[in-house]
Structure 1
């Protein structure tokens, strides 16, 4: 097994109030509904366990399940970090955050939504395959991010600028 990590950062102004975006991002059922390649999220207190569908990484199909500790700064920031249950061995994890900044009408209104995440996968591949694996991971992450963004905007009935 080798460990591979890939990440992404994104930022957009969503023409919706921060509270509406916050309500989506803190609802595990809605996040699961809007996120492609995600079967479900089981939430228990500050822990969310993500159950992904099968992902193909260089011909190896993985369906990762991983547990994240969620922490919140009301209407401003959501941090998440990999925190598996005691004794559990999870082959995937995510570290990252969402930041929301409501913009004044003088700046056109809306909410600046920024996100950063790093995904780590343990795969039965040689470490030498890292460039190809991380490129494949970046492609999947990019596709998921674009589709989540479209789904979020559609759910909110909002546009972005």
Structure 2
């Protein structure tokens, strides 16, 4: 097993009130409809278990499931950290944050950072191929999530 990580950061001004975006980002039933490859989230208070669909990475089909400790600082910040249940080992984990800043009554600056870490049964020498594939999947997910979020909140372009 080798461990691989990839990070992505993005930001945009979304033409919607901060509270509307906050509601979307904190809704574990809505997020799978907005996020590609995300099948479901089981939320138990501040512990969220994320179940992904099949994701192909360098000839390996992953079906990641991971547990996150969510920290909500309403209405401006969400932090999440990989926190597998005691006695378990999850091969995938995510750490990151969302920051929501008002940009007027009907606009919100949304900044996102996330790092995905995965243990795979491949040589560490495969790192360039694996991290390139991870970044590609993350970019696709990010673009589609952004478009879906904008559509959901009824934002203009």
> TM-score per shorter chain, which class?
over 0.9
Cα deviation 1:34-91 (Å, max 9, x = unaligned): 1110110010010110000011110000101000000011110000000000111100
Aligned-partner SS, 1:112:
strand
Residue correspondences, number: 157
Q: CA RMSD in A?
A: 0.9
Aligned-partner SS, 1:29:
coil
Deviation at 1:104, TM superposition (A): 2.8
Q: What residue in structure 2 maps to residue 127 of structure 1?
A: 124
CA distance in 2, matches of 1:36, 1:144: 5
Matches within 5 A, 1:3-42: 3-42=3-42
Q: What residue in structure 2 maps to residue 81 of structure 1?
A: 81
TM-score by length of 2: 0.98
Kindly report structure 1 stretches of 4+ aligned residues shifted beyond 2 Å. none
**What residue ranges of structure 2 are gaps of 5+ in the alignment?**
none
TM-score by length of 1: 0.95
CA distance in 2, matches of 1:92, 1:29: 21
Deviation at 1:159, TM superposition (A): 2.6
